[in-house]
Structure 1
Amino acid sequence: MTAILTFFTTLACIVTLLPFSRHPHWAIRGMDFPRLQFAIFIAVLLIANFVFLNKQSQFTWVVISITALCLAWQLWWILPYTRLWPHEVKETKESSPDKQISIMTANVLTPNRKVDKLIQLVQIHKPDVLVTLESDQWWEDQLKVVEVDMPHSIKCPLDNLYGMHVFSRLPLSNQEIAYLVEKEVPSIHTTLTLDSGDKVRMHFMHPAPPSPTENPQSAERDAELIIVAKSVAKSNQPIIVTGDLNDVAWSATTRLFRKISGLLDPRVGRGMLNTFHADFPFLRWPLDHLFHSQHFTLNSIKRLPPIGSDHFALLTKLTLSPTVGADQTGLESNTSDHNWAKEITENQSISVNDVPQVDNSK
């Protein structure tokens, strides 16, 4: 039993220590994803070490101490996405309807044909904006019905799992589809006008994930995240960034995105809202995101019922409340963060000027 528990403690150390490396290889970056699962595994292992190992042995206490440190480190990353943590974004107290915006973010899975499930959710929740990811020409054709209530749209149908569509009840301007890092992976950038007349800068993203079947490294994904972060950091305009970022909320790279951009995460203190994988309850993590500037407070954020995809859709309702939200703060950056961000973008030979300028505040 000692040998078995020692082996699993060594394994716990490996999965805990690997993400310390900033190497972008998928096998290393992938260790960021299942931190909740790792934490559960290590917690069970810690109990087993207490129960089965000889507590008179100094070696036992070394093993227990190492296991406890691994558990503490995993929890440090995921606890902000539990109700044990303070809210990063304030709740909306008094909401003016003309300053509200609701956004449904849905990775539909290209071969999925259960479009009626998504349309039903749109009819029930009546979002102001629907963004679909992995939507090809078939999905575009099927979703024409939503254009009755959402007449403003930006369409980029692709059959490579990176198609993207935006449908909006509210007017869109300065629309641009950009291929920031990879020539077949688009992002959409636009300005949305609320009923109040206020302008909101919108960025819809779906960078390719690091994986053995797509990009062997996370370099391309990381560069797209950071270049958008740098772009929005220069703006004083209300900003929303949403999409399937193929990165978990608690990873070092998503945290770097938040530090550089200054954007807030409404999930902090409210729950993980794991949107992937819809078919495997024990293998889920938050891949679909919505970040926003301090101009907004939160009405609600929730994961929606399944739509036949491997992702759940995410519905977020915000209110433009610049005065109330003025003292909201997220993660703060330091010199090391900016140096890392610079290294990431320079390695992909891209600059902040590559991001479409949809800022109306200047």
Structure 2
Amino acid sequence: MKKLSWFDKLIFFFNSVLAIGLIVAYFLPYIPPKSYPLISVLTLGVPILIIANLVFFLYWLLRMKRQMVLSLLIIIVGFGFASKFYRWPFTSEEPAGEYSIMNYNVRMFNKSNWTEEEDIPEKINDVIDEADPDILTIEEYYKNEYLEKKYPYKFIKYRSDKSSFGQAIFSKFPLLAKRSLDFSLDNFTGENNNAIFTDVIIKKDTIRLYNIHFQSLKVTEDIQEVDNFKNKQESKKVVKNISSGFVRQQNQSEKVQRSINASEYPVIVSGDFNNTAFSYTYNQVTNDRLQDAFVKKGSGFSSTYNLNYFPLRIDFHLLDTVFEINSYERIKVPYSDHYPILTTFSIKN
């Protein structure tokens, strides 16, 4: 440090702070949010921490300073961690899998008029038609007669008997048991989030398919309106809302984990987690058992949520090890605040 200028010393100070932050983030998937709800908020900042440490490493490398070792070691230690955030683009000649599944949070097909663009339901239907998935899972579903006619088998769970809003599973294959985990019955959430599952018969195989929509953090408007953060009270409110959401997600993910563990069939999880791959929520569901389709076959950042250029992947396809993941695609269309994801897979012998 003696040979560093005052400016470089300041740079290294910030480098050290962000390196420590990334180290803490490595442990977040194993720390229940109930124990340290405020620290859990750091989960959402992991992509920035990774990028920042990479920038610091390049800065010191270009200056041929040994301070580059700090960020380099942090990045190497967490290489597997970073692979959940970014996958190096590659060209694969591997054919698509025998079966396909799409997940799409459709934001009620614009029933709430969140965008002035016209014909959103028809445009979303066109996207689904072009991909033509064998299985389709939808969050924030609003009654869509076209899809209900297109797919011969379906499981639609509305939030109430008088509502047309909820979650849906559409399938070209027969569905057996249809069940809901009903988060709201345990006071884990409001009425808009839930997990549903069904048993799908694919030829001679039976698989258990989950459509999950974990607790929303309800901070989108606050994050996009940067001016809100100029007010300390607003900033504290946002952090408190996120912390509360993480605690609810912990309860929900633990309930899902128990259901998955009790399944006698291989499992596929599809849905909107409202959290990243660096979270306790994600770790509970995957539980070292399920494969992340993006980690296996994705490329680039593959953000699934449109948040002002911030790379946020919160929608997932997680498959049991009896499945071979053949391809993964994020379809970038502006018809919702989420992008649909499409995975093809095969069943191993």
CA-CA distance at 1:84 after TM superposition: 6.2
The answer to whether residue 8 in structure 2 is matched with residue 2 in structure 1 is yes
CA-CA distance at 1:128 after TM superposition: 1.9
CA-CA distance at 1:3 after TM superposition: 4.5
The answer to whether residue 203 in structure 2 is matched with residue 199 in structure 1 is no
CA-CA distance at 1:77 after TM superposition: 0.7
Q: What do residues 247-275 of structure 1 show as CA deviations (whole Å, max 9, x unaligned)?
A: 22244542343236x22223224336634
In structure 2, the CA distance between the partners of 1:103 and 1:200, relative to structure 1 (3 Å rule), is same
The answer to whether residue 71 in structure 2 is matched with residue 67 in structure 1 is yes
Q: Secondary structure at the match of 1:33?
A: helix
1:77 maps to which residue?
Answer: 81
Query: Where does the alignment leave 5 or more consecutive residues of structure 2 unmatched?
Result: 1-6, 220-237
CA distance in 2, matches of 1:179, 1:306: 31
1:332 maps to which residue?
Answer: none
Which 4+ runs in 1 deviate beyond 4 A? 50-53, 80-85, 91-95
In structure 2, the CA distance between the partners of 1:84 and 1:313, relative to structure 1 (3 Å rule), is closer
Q: TM-score, normalising length from structure 2? A: 0.72
CA distance in 2, matches of 1:231, 1:149: 30
The answer to whether residue 149 in structure 2 is matched with residue 134 in structure 1 is no
In structure 2, the CA distance between the partners of 1:2 and 1:243, relative to structure 1 (3 Å rule), is same
In structure 2, the CA distance between the partners of 1:65 and 1:214, relative to structure 1 (3 Å rule), is closer
- The one-letter code matched in structure 2 to 1:71 is I
Q: Is the 8 A contact 1:134 1:158 kept in 2?
A: no
The answer to whether residue 121 in structure 2 is matched with residue 115 in structure 1 is yes
CA distance in 2, matches of 1:35, 1:214: 15
In structure 2, the CA distance between the partners of 1:144 and 1:314, relative to structure 1 (3 Å rule), is same
2:223 maps to which residue?
Answer: none
2:331 maps to which residue?
Answer: 304
CA-CA distance at 1:243 after TM superposition: 0.4
In structure 2, the CA distance between the partners of 1:29 and 1:274, relative to structure 1 (3 Å rule), is farther
CA-CA distance at 1:5 after TM superposition: 0.5
Q: What do residues 64-103 of structure 1 show as CA deviations (whole Å, max 9, x unaligned)?
A: 4433333334544113665569xxxxx98796xxxx4322
Number of matched pairs: 298
Q: TM-score, normalising length from structure 1? A: 0.70
Spell out the pairing of 1:88-167 with structure 2 (5 A cutoff).
100-110=98-108, 111=112, 112=114, 114-135=120-141, 139-140=142-143, 143-158=144-159, 163-167=166-170
CA distance in 1, matches of 2:281, 2:77: 17
CA-CA distance at 1:227 after TM superposition: 3.0
RMSD of aligned Cα (Å): 3.3
Q: Secondary structure at the match of 1:127?
A: coil
The answer to whether residue 306 in structure 2 is matched with residue 278 in structure 1 is yes
CA-CA distance at 1:313 after TM superposition: 0.4
Q: Is the 8 A contact 2:297 2:325 kept in 1?
A: no
CA-CA distance at 1:45 after TM superposition: 1.9
The answer to whether residue 284 in structure 2 is matched with residue 259 in structure 1 is no
1:338 maps to which residue?
Answer: none
Query: Where does the alignment leave 5 or more consecutive residues of structure 1 unmatched?
Result: 56-60, 86-90, 324-362
Partner residue of 1:222 out of 250, 253, 272 = 250
CA-CA distance at 1:15 after TM superposition: 2.4
Q: What do residues 192-220 of structure 1 show as CA deviations (whole Å, max 9, x unaligned)?
A: 122x1432211111111456346525232
Identical-pair percentage: 21
CA distance in 2, matches of 1:15, 1:109: 34
Q: What do residues 155-179 of structure 1 show as CA deviations (whole Å, max 9, x unaligned)?
A: 234599x831222222222112221
CA distance in 2, matches of 1:226, 1:5: 41
Partner residue of 2:179 out of 166, 176, 181 = 176
